[in-house]
């Protein structure tokens, strides 16, 4: 098939597959009784992911909304103990890069992620970091997988954990346990959009505020990654204001 005919076909197939994926997700959430707000967040996230993929194929540089006026900026090497930094990015690459760099320098590390733990270890070489996987699969009524054993206070992982995203109090307890037992460490959280979709923004914001307070007291560097295009602009601005710096 000539190239000029194949490209529109590829474009249509990608658009069709992406649209079907969005509607399939909406149908599943409707059957499970998700709220309209949760469905909106998921649909926006899926739609944006589809747009990014199409732009990548066409060689178009995606656009990210500018940060809130007056948002603090800093370089990674300027982050003192107890500080918090938010990366505004479509994918959590910069957040993972900072986290893995600090872990390789010798800091105890703990990662809360939507990305599967083995993929994180393979790609970012953080073998000694604890990883808490946000997933509703194979978790018990308390929010953890039956085999989860936790993480040692010195930052050495005993076994990878899985936690249900709806269990915010338990999630905070695991993070606080690491921070208080591993002074001067680093915690990276990605998947805020997923937490919001499974709870609500006010609850997730309060959760983030508590984590920031604990990080400040324990001297832990807190790193967050979120895509502003998948969140309400006013809500994202609230999140930015809680952080020491925004990048």
Are residue 39 and residue 152 in the same domain, yes or no? no
Give a yes or no: residue 67 inside a domain: no
- The confidence score (pLDDT) of residue 240 equals 94
- The confidence score (pLDDT) of residue 217 equals 94
Are residue 153 and residue 242 in the same domain, yes or no? yes
Give a yes or no: residue 66 inside a domain: no
Are residue 80 and residue 172 in the same domain, yes or no? yes
- Catalogue the long-range contacts made by 166-170 (C-beta closer than 8 Å, 24 or more residues apart): 166/136, 166/198, 166/199, 167/142, 167/143, 168/195, 168/199, 168/203, 168/204, 168/207, 170/142, 170/143, 170/144
Are residue 53 and residue 164 in the same domain, yes or no? no
Give a yes or no: residue 156 inside a domain: yes
Are residue 44 and residue 86 in the same domain, yes or no? no
- The confidence score (pLDDT) of residue 154 equals 46
Are residue 205 and residue 118 in the same domain, yes or no? yes
| One pLDDT digit (tens) per residue for the chain, 247 residues | 455 555 667 667 767 776 777 677 677 767 766 666 556 655 655 555 555 556 656 666 545 444 444 444 445 556 899 999 999 998 899 999 999 999 988 999 999 999 888 888 888 888 889 999 998 875 444 444 433 333 444 444 434 689 999 999 999 999 999 999 987 899 999 989 999 988 999 999 999 999 999 999 999 999 999 999 888 889 999 999 999 999 8
Can you tell me the distance from the alpha carbon of 59 to that of 2, in angstroms, rounded to the nearest whole number?
20
- CATH code: domain of residue 134: 3.40.50.300
How many structural domains comprise the chain? 2
Are residue 157 and residue 84 in the same domain, yes or no? yes
Query: Is-contact 214 175, C-beta < 8 A?
Result: yes
Domain final residue pick, 13, 29, 58: 58
Can you tell me the distance from the alpha carbon of 216 to that of 82, in angstroms, rounded to the nearest whole number?
4
Are residue 99 and residue 191 in the same domain, yes or no? yes
Give a yes or no: residue 203 inside a domain: yes
Are residue 48 and residue 81 in the same domain, yes or no? no
Query: Is-contact 222 216, C-beta < 8 A?
Result: no
Are residue 117 and residue 237 in the same domain, yes or no? yes
Helices (H), 59-132: 93-104, 117-124
Full domain range(s) for residue 18: 3-58
Are residue 32 and residue 143 in the same domain, yes or no? no
- The confidence score (pLDDT) of residue 85 equals 95
- The confidence score (pLDDT) of residue 68 equals 46
DSSP, collapsed to helix, strand or coil, labels residue 144 as: strand
Are residue 54 and residue 80 in the same domain, yes or no? no
Give a yes or no: residue 63 inside a domain: no
């Amino acid at each position: 098939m000539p190239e000029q005919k194949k490209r529109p076909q590829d474009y249509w197939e990608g658009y069709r597959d992406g649209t079907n994926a969005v509607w399939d997700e909406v149908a599943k959430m409707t059957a499970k009784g998700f709220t309209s707000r949760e469905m909106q967040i998921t649909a926006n996230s899926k739609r944006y992911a589809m747009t990014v993929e199409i732009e990548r194929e066409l060689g178009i540089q995606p656009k990210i909304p500018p940060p809130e006026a007056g948002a603090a900026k800093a370089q990674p090497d300027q982050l003192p103990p107890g500080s918090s930094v938010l990366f505004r990015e479509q994918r959590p690459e910069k957040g993972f890069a900072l986290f893995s760099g600090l872990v390789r320098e010798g800091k105890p590390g703990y990662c809360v992620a939507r990305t599967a733990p083995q993929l994180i270890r393979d790609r970012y070489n953080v073998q000694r970091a604890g990883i808490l996987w946000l997933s509703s699969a194979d978790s018990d009524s308390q929010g953890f997988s039956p085999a989860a054993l936790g993480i040692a206070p010195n930052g050495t992982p005993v076994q990878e954990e899985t936690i249900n995203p709806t269990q915010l109090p338990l999630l905070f307890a695991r993070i606080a346990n690491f921070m208080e037992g591993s002074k001067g460490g680093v915690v990276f959280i990605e998947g805020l959009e997923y937490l919001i979709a499974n709870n609500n923004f006010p609850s997730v914001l309060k959760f983030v505020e508590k984590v920031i307070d604990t990080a400040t007291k324990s001297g832990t560097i807190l790193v967050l990654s979120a895509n502003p295009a998948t969140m309400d602009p006013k809500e994202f601005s609230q999140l930015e204001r809680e952080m020491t710096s925004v990048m």
